[in-house]
Amino acid sequence: MKLVSVVVPCYNEQEVLPMFYEEITKISAQMSNEFPELEFEYLFINDGSKDTTLDLLRSLAEKDKRVRYISFSRNFGKESGMYAGLKNSKGEYIVVMDADLQHPPAFLPKMYNYVRNGEYDCATTRRVSRKGESKVRSWFARLFYRIMNKISQTEIVDGAQDFRFMTRQMVDAILDMSEYNRFSKGIFSWVGFNTKYIEYENVERPAGTSSWSFWGLFKYSLEGIMAFSTAPLAIASLLGILTCAFAFVLIVVTIIRSIFGWLDAPDGYPTLLCLIFLFSGLQLFCVGILGQYLSKTYLETKNRPIYITKETEDTYRQRKKAAAQNSQFQQSAETENK
């Protein structure tokens, strides 16, 4: 038998989680009939949800032994959730997908067909449209991919999703990159391996709302740029060279104007103020770029854990069993006292 681990990061997914479980169990049952060698486990990662997501996962784990879950002590972010799922998965094949059904489980049989014969190590989906997104958000997303592929040696396919069906070998290679500041889209590409891209139209959420805000996506894009490109550092150096050249030309012009008496001191104050603001802004911009890289280095050297586990299905069962035994002991003691 070949085990398929379905890793599902969750954050406030109480509205869509029952629908996802119904759909993923239906598809996995179909796959088990079509491919008798397959069996499944569902590993949910509760990323510090503030709704009833954890209660739903507890309920699913009690009625279905294939369901496992890891609940974080707080919200660590989707990247940490994916890493925890990959690290704790047991399968020969590993699937990463969202719980919001924007990653359709119906693609799993097709993805498995591409991977099982050994031609591909990974099958993933690629959105060919951004239906349901605002035009501004779509424009910035496309701009990010263009910039990223210009300044980085790691190619990131526009529209590629985190929805992936991977072999254990590829997942082990990903886990070897245990960096704290994670950008999985870049990591998936960096490790290499043969990947099949399946194009599909964007699917909107059937319920709930996305936890990704525009600002959150912007910060995530900066994470990717800093993680897989040193071009911003080169830009800072280039700006420094250009401003020095501009300042040198300005000095020559000022000297010539002074020699020929063309320099009127009072008229130079606006120019002087503009230049001060220009050079000060460029310096702060370059220092800011250096600060971003330094902050990432600082966080890496701290060696903090990528996530902290508060509860799993096993610890929950143990705690529940201990509580039942304690309650039974108290009842027995009360009976003896009477």
Q: Map out the domains of the chain as residue ranges.
A: 2-228
Predicted pLDDT at 327: 73
Unique residue bearing structure tokens 């590629």? 160
At a CB cut-off of 8 Å and minimum separation 6, what does 20 contact?
A: 8, 13, 99, 100, 101, 105
Q: pTM for this one?
A: 0.70
Predicted pLDDT at 298: 73
Select from 3.90.550.10, 1.25.10.10, 3.30.1380.10, 3.40.50.620 the CATH code of 2-228.
3.90.550.10
> pLDDT (tens digit, 9 = 90+) per residue, 234-287?
666 676 677 767 766 766 776 676 666 665 555 565 567 667 767 776 777 777
Cα→Cα distances 56→65, 71, 109, 247, 310, Å: 14, 12, 27, 64, 16
> pLDDT (tens digit, 9 = 90+) per residue, 66-107?
999 999 988 888 888 889 999 999 989 999 988 888 888 888
What is the rounded distance in angstroms from the CA atom of residue 335 to the CA atom of residue 324? 17
User: Structure tokens of 92?
Assistant: 């020969």
Predicted pLDDT at 93: 92
Q: Which residues of the chain have pLDDT under 70?
A: 129-141, 144-145, 148-149, 151-154, 158-159, 202-237, 239-240, 244, 247-248, 250-251, 254-255, 257-271, 273-274, 277, 281, 332-338
Predicted pLDDT at 260: 65
